[in-house]
Structure 1
Amino acid sequence: MIKVLFAAAEGTPFIKTGGLADVIGSLPKALQQKDLDIRVVLPKYKTIPLQWKETMRPIKSIMVSLGWRTQYCGIEVFDYEGISFYFIDNEYYFGREGLYGYEDDGERFAFFSRAILEILPHIDFQPDILHCHDWHTALVSVFLKSHYKNNGFYQGIKTIYTIHNLMYQGVFPHSILADLLGLDDQYFTIDTLEYHGQINYMKGGIIFSDLLTTVSKTYAEEIQSPYFGETLDGLLRKRKKHLYGIVNGIDYDTYNPNTDPYIPSNYVRSLQKKGINKEKLQELLGLPVNKETPMVAIISRLVSSKGLDLIAHVLEDLMALDLQMVVLGTGEEKYENLFRSTAERYPYKLAARIQFDDRLAHQIYAASDLFLMPSRFEPCGIGQLIALRYGSIPVVRETGGLKDTVQSYNEYTQEGNGFSFTHYNAHDMLYTLRRALQYYQDKKIWGRIIKNAIRCDYSWKKSAEEYISLYQCLLHKSDSK
């Protein structure tokens, strides 16, 4: 049985800020169902709800070296849906509000990465593979091949490093190399951690990990180009033989319109019941109640990379169309204010909820007809996958995982599960949305598009098999040496 320890900074249902948490909460379960021994390690943040903290069982307390420091590390465990989740407890680093954005994030996640390796002899689990995610755990591979290379317990442990978003790399001052990481200047070169005179955690993960993955095939190709490569494209091209794109999935138990406890009327393929959800949401948000009016949803972090500048550019044009818009999310102040002010001026056209509300998100997926996601770049995207599951037709830009999962409707072949545009252009987006609205008026065609969408399978089944193949390949190469 292949033994894998997932290491990440967040994971549902315990703590979440974005799509990474959804992956960590659902992929291990899909792999476990295929007879792998999968476990997960997370920081024990202050903001983890009390209901979870009260069920954690302490295993042991140890001390972890971090440069010249020796820091406390509590190890706790909770078994959730058949998966053992380990929590690293340190009040100094994780007993704070929120997850990220502190001046000492470099130290906090260096400690977390070191602790991941240090706890292994104490949890009765010697993994074949450490599967690390994003910059927060990138140093695991670096530490494994530096501080632990002569330690017999760690011999043979392989590493896979998954890039969920190349934009966030974990760049910190050179001074931490010896002070925090306990490494000398042989690790401060262009071929190791050095990055424009600083230390780059993600670069370390890319260089020192045995295999690399990212969260869609198109994104794996895109990040090898200067436009998407965030200055690491040359390094990624150098490692392209070890780089794989595997599209994310979603948990089909959590996102199931037939059983979803958050929505007023459960449904599978019933447009009539989907219409009931729309009417209930219209009542809730103070929009005119009319199930024939097309509803366009935006559920997103309100940041420029999500294409919000395109929407801002043509928002008045959108308000002139026969539609209702529902916006849910938080982010940059300028976009929050834009949607608030537009909702005040067009209260019967736009409802904006500047907040995080998982229940409302489910209700919006179930009620909406169209799901707008015009991202400038999108490693994978979870929103369009959930929208497809609920029969809310995506309108997306052809980039990253959006290109891999949404196929534009073809009126001649009657194939396609959404609508897409190629260039990052506000009027191309507007044209594509207008095209979708035209098809919405033809109920026969629209029913066909919804059927195409709901038939898509973006559960973890296929992607889990791809990860297993990678695990087997990595371990087979190791055995054959």
Structure 2
Amino acid sequence: MEKKRVLFISQEIAPFLSQTDIAQVARKLPQGIQESGKEIRAFMPRFGCINERRHQLHEVIRLSGMNLIINDVDHPLIIKVASVPQAKIQVYFIDNEDFFKRKATVCNDKGDYFEDNDERAMFFGRGVLETVKKLGWKPDIIHCHGWMTALTPLYIKKLYNNDPHFEDTKVVYSIYDEGFNKNWDTNFHNKLKFDGFDESDIELLKDTDFVALNKMAINVSDGVVQGSENIHDDLLSEIQTTGTPFLEYFSEESCVKPVDEFYDQIIEELVEN
């Protein structure tokens, strides 16, 4: 039987960034899922605070070279890769000087969130999907971790839904309590329209705060995982309202088996339907 394929997309992965729940879980899961018998790929942004020399990042020339247009501006897509020591997994990095050169992740040293985090999330999500296509690798499950990946389920379900690489792909979204406290650009709605979304696709994003963004991801995903012990009450209510398959919180040490079984449940539902 052909191995099932799981694509992990995370805003942070340890040891490249290791200070958050997202980074730790997104490090643990790919290794555990691979050891359970599935084939995996993992992606994250190449934030400028990542030490490329220490972690031995290098550019993958055959995957780099594309340009992505975000809000009518061309942005070169650069792909880098590095190995996770002792884990037998590789992590691909989405890089671009405009979005990821700064020596920080999502906010500055004063805690102010970057004004272009919306465009950075758009570039990151699209960059992953275009790179996976270039790899010729068709995932059965795409598991997104953290709010910077929240747009990716929307892209898969609304813009890439007829693409042979993703037409049968199921999307799982993990929600964490690590959010942001500043609404995205008021022009964000129009940026999505420029990308090709219809008004009906993005009606849940008229508000651009953390809760609205995650509610949208819940509505378009095939499964939701509670990534942190505590998450926003409004998001728990949204999961109950939509009836989206839901996996409650498991600690980093015990999450692999229940998540792996959750994937199988969602894949089986696809086969049955």
The alignment's TM-score, normalised by the length of structure 1, stands at 0.50
Q: Which residue of 2 aligns with 1:46?
A: 48
Q: Which structure's relative contact order is higher, taking Cα pairs within 8 Å and 6+ residues apart? A: 2
Alignment map for 1:306-455 (pairs within 5 Å): none
Aligned residue among 87, 95, 98 for 2:101: 95
Which secondary structure state, in structure 2, belongs to the residue aligned with residue 29 of structure 1? helix
CA contact (8 A) 2:8 2:41 kept: yes
CA contact (8 A) 2:143 2:171 kept: yes
Cα deviation for residue 214 of structure 1 reads 0.3
Which secondary structure state, in structure 2, belongs to the residue aligned with residue 46 of structure 1? coil
Please say if 1:140 is aligned against 2:152: yes
CA contact (8 A) 1:63 1:73 kept: yes
Aligned residue among 238, 243, 258 for 1:466: 258
Cα deviation for residue 178 of structure 1 reads 2.4
Q: Which residue of 2 aligns with 1:131?
A: 143
CA contact (8 A) 1:8 1:134 kept: yes
Aligned residue among 12, 25, 28 for 2:30: 28
Please say if 1:480 is aligned against 2:272: yes
Cα deviation for residue 232 of structure 1 reads 3.8
Q: Which residue of 1 aligns with 2:242?
A: 239
After superposition, give the CA deviation of every residue in 1:318-348 in whole Å (9 maximum; x if it has no partner).
xxxxxxxxxxxxxxxxxxxxxxxxxxxxxxx
CA distance in 2 between partners of 1:128 and 1:100 (Å): 29
Q: 1:45 to 1:120 in 2, by over 3 A?
A: same
Cα deviation for residue 78 of structure 1 reads 2.1
Larger Rg: 1 or 2? Answer: 1
Letter of the 1:464 partner, please give it.
V
After superposition, give the CA deviation of every residue in 1:404-462 in whole Å (9 maximum; x if it has no partner).
xxxxxxxxxxxxxxxxxxxxxxxxxxxxxxxxxxxxxxxxxxxxxxxxxxxxxxx34xx
Cα deviation for residue 174 of structure 1 reads 4.2
Letter of the 1:39 partner, please give it.
R
Q: Which residue of 1 aligns with 2:69?
A: 65
After superposition, give the CA deviation of every residue in 1:268-326 in whole Å (9 maximum; x if it has no partner).
xxxxxxxxxxxxxxxxxxxxxxxxxxxxxxxxxxxxxxxxxxxxxxxxxxxxxxxxxxx
Cα deviation for residue 199 of structure 1 reads 9.4
The alignment's TM-score, normalised by the length of structure 2, stands at 0.85
Q: Which residue of 1 aligns with 2:13?
A: 11
CA distance in 1 between partners of 2:217 and 2:59 (Å): 31
Cα deviation for residue 246 of structure 1 reads 3.4
Which secondary structure state, in structure 1, belongs to the residue aligned with residue 63 of structure 2? strand
Please say if 1:207 is aligned against 2:209: no
CA distance in 1 between partners of 2:271 and 2:76 (Å): 36
After superposition, give the CA deviation of every residue in 1:13-55 in whole Å (9 maximum; x if it has no partner).
1123422111112221122211111221011122111334544
Which secondary structure state, in structure 1, belongs to the residue aligned with residue 30 of structure 2? helix
CA RMSD of aligned residues (A): 2.5
Q: 1:206 to 1:471 in 2, by over 3 A?
A: same
Cα deviation for residue 188 of structure 1 reads 4.2
Aligned residue among 162, 175, 179 for 2:187: 175
CA distance in 1 between partners of 2:73 and 2:198 (Å): 16
Cα deviation for residue 173 of structure 1 reads 3.7
CA distance in 1 between partners of 2:183 and 2:201 (Å): 15
Gaps of 5+ in 1: 250-458
Q: Which residue of 2 aligns with 1:324?
A: none
Gaps of 5+ in 2: 108-113
